[in-house]
Amino acid sequence: MSQTLSRIRKNTTKARELMARSRAEGFAVGAFNIDNQETLIAIVQAAQSTKSPVLVEVSDGEVKAIGLQNLRCMVDNYKQDYGIEMYLNLDHSPSVEACKQAIDAGYEFIHIDISQANHDAQEGEIIAKTREVVEYAKFTGALVESEPHYFGGSSNVHKEAFDYEEIKKTFSTPEGARHFVEATGIDTFAAAVGNLHGSYPVPKQLDLELLQKVREAIGCQISLHGGSGTPANFFDDVSRIGVSKININSDMRKAFRDTLVKVLQENPDEYAVMKLMPEVIASIQQVVEEKIKIFGSAGKSVA
């Protein structure tokens, strides 16, 4: 079921209003990755239970696994069935063409990340291709997010610690953020202040003073990638400073896998997969609800 242009524009207008509300009221919206229907069910049940707006997001690999239009339809169907405020975000899309396809499909949020495909991409190329997506998105009103360089880590549960001094070399700067926002016209800047994709055996440390300076340097929204494995005490501060969107993936994947292993071990003779899933879904839902409450978005839905 494809969306009409009027419906797409209505949804993107509501998405922009949500981002404005988050800034005005000092909360952040959780953006939760899915790579299967069970994870989506967990997210929508958490959103309904907490009365929170949510973003469902999909990476390039997740789009290829499920299908661009299939994802749009799944999100729309669950949104209607559960009566929740939910939007769809294309996460770390590595090409302009993929972003345009998602915009045409009615995705409300678009993250163009040229450095995802080429870690050594130069700023001039990143700016030019980001601007192309920004201009294309004006037709539907989709919000466009980007960053000026490669963002490290991967959405997995890592056994090795990371070198914080090395991570510092990729931090955003207020001057760089301002230049990039002005050069591209993006709606959301993906800040790097110690956040890192994935979960690690050592806690992440966010430079809140730097985040405040970036916030003061730009007028658009700020997103925080790599929310998994970040100590909860940071989230009150980042929401207060003005982060509107926080991405979560690895914490949910860990809950899914660990619980699935447990359920399989406890039910060695069960081959009806659907009967194995309720406990798995509940474990992911618990993670999502915990994040929603920490981000301050519980009770903020206008659905």
Judge whether 139 lies within some domain: yes
Domain extent, residue 112, equals 5-295
Judge whether 25 lies within some domain: yes
Give Cβ neighbours of residue 263 (< 8 Å, ≥ 6 apart): 276, 279, 280
Given 76, 91, 187, 251, the catalytic residue: 91
Judge whether 300 lies within some domain: no
Nearest to 224 by CA among 93, 88, 29: 29
Instruction: Summarize the confidence of residues 150-172 as an average pLDDT.
Output: 70
Judge whether 147 lies within some domain: yes
Judge whether 221 lies within some domain: yes
Q: To 10 degrees, the CA torsion angle through 210, 214, 216, 220? A: -150
Judged against a pLDDT cut of 90, whether residue 149 lies above it is answered with no
- Is 91 a known active-site residue? yes
Judged against a pLDDT cut of 70, whether residue 198 lies above it is answered with no
Judge whether 64 lies within some domain: yes
Judge whether 302 lies within some domain: no
pLDDT of residue 201: 63
Q: How many domains does the chain have?
A: 1
Judged against a pLDDT cut of 80, whether residue 157 lies above it is answered with no
Judge whether 301 lies within some domain: no
Q: What is the CATH number of the domain that holds 35?
A: 3.20.20.70
